[in-house]
Amino acid sequence: MIYLDYAASSPLCEEALQTLMTMSRDVYANSNSLHDGGGHASHILERSREFVAESIGGRAEGLFFTSGGTESNLLAIQALAKGLPPERRHILTSVLEHHSVKLAFAGLSALGYEVDYIRPDASGRLTPQQIEPLLRPDTGLVSLQHANSETGLVQDLPGIGAFLHERGILLHTDAVQSFGKIRFSAEELGADAISISAHKVQGPKGVGAVYIRPGVPYVPVHPGSLHERGFRPGTVNVPGIAAFASAAVYTCGQLEERADRYRLLRRHLKERFREFGLSAYVVTDRLPGGEANVLPHIAGCAGLGYEGQYVMLECNRKGICISTGSACSSGQHAVPETLIALGLSEGEGHSFFRISFGPDTTTRHLDLLVRTLHELEQTK
């Protein structure tokens, strides 16, 4: 099998696997228990918190572990919104967001919060110019992705964060896709809350984290919770969290080296597209600015002339795993709103498929993919 869907999930790195096995065998006590076993588990938990917080340049007291990126987004957004003063119940997000963010905002809308949606400019960017017309005196919270899952577009959060903070507005960001792929720190990013996930950085599934800048007001979604300092209920998954910490340290330690390699793979892929005369193209190349500020490991493609689902299935038949976008939205046949917002026609949107690289991806894998796409195009 040739795996080219790392943006959806990644295999455990050896460091995380060994940590998970060791901790699952040796550290099985509840971290809230008062005996020595619980104390040992609590120590491992807090050391893991320090490692993960350090990987995003944050402070350990601001980091809360969750079951993954989706729960991180849901809990962070709702906790920040519930912490807003009564006169600030207008909240904003963008049309580009992950399904979990839209779900969180839908839930808040049902509770009486007023929600508006920001559309990007012609280059796919979310800027203060796009945000300002939607701001009101009662705007209290904005949630914007750091990088898009389908296209890899990275937003200028430091600029947006400074703009919002001047107006007393909080900023949450879904950094699940960018974490471990591009270097950032919590302070430089300018976000008041950050969501990340383990399985995108070669850690285990079922583990994630929310970072809330110390001092930012919030109200836990589940009042009275006894774990994670009241942020989230449920016995803490200490072995999984320790494996997350191992994966974060390992992956972030190789970040620049991997990013350079992924950029070379992107270039190779596009060169092979041209050599084979494929009608497929990388969608970010058609936007003003092109490759600037795009995650190096994602190549969102369109224009082959077939439905993206069909392209994915034909590749799968040849043992090549690609996707048609976010795995959390798979099975939905509508054109992703992300692509519509970027100006793709309905036909181009339906033809979209995503290739994403990982540490085991080689140029040979991409050559086999391009040959498969070429064979497919020849059958038209």
Q: Return the residue matching tokens 């069909």.
A: 310
The 3-state secondary structure of the chain reads: CEECECCCCCCCCHHHHHHHHHHHHHCCCCCCCCCHHHHHHHHHHHHHHHHHHHHCCCCHHHEEEECCHHHHHHHHHHHHHHCCCCCCCEEEEECCCCHHHHHHHHHHHHCCCEEEEECCCCCCCCCHHHHHHHCCCCEEEEECCCECCCCCEECCHHHHHHHHHCCCCEEEEECCCCCCCCCCCHHHHCCCEEEEECHHHCCCCCCEEEEECCCCCCCCCCCCCCCHHHCCCCCCCHHHHHHHHHHHHHHHHCHHHHHHHHHHHHHHHHHHHHHCCCCCEEHHHHCCCCCCCECCCEEEEECCCCCHHHHHHHHHHCCEECECCCHHHCCCCCCCHHHHHCCCCHHHHHCCEEEECCCCCCHHHHHHHHHHHHHHHHCC
Q: Looking at this protein, which amino acid is placed at residue 338?
A: T
Strand partners, 211: 63, 194
Assess contact for 197 and 59: CB atoms under 8 A: no
Residue of 13, 252, 315, 328 marked catalytic: 328
* Two tokens, residue 101: 């963010």
Distance CA 347, CA 117 (A): 24
Whether residue 328 lies in the annotated active site: yes
Q: Return the residue matching tokens 């040959």.
A: 371
Residue 252: name the closest of 203, 179, 310 by CA: 179
CA distances 380 to 6, 66, 311, 345, Å, are 29, 47, 13, 20
Q: Return the residue matching tokens 């400074």.
A: 162
Catalytic residue positions?
328
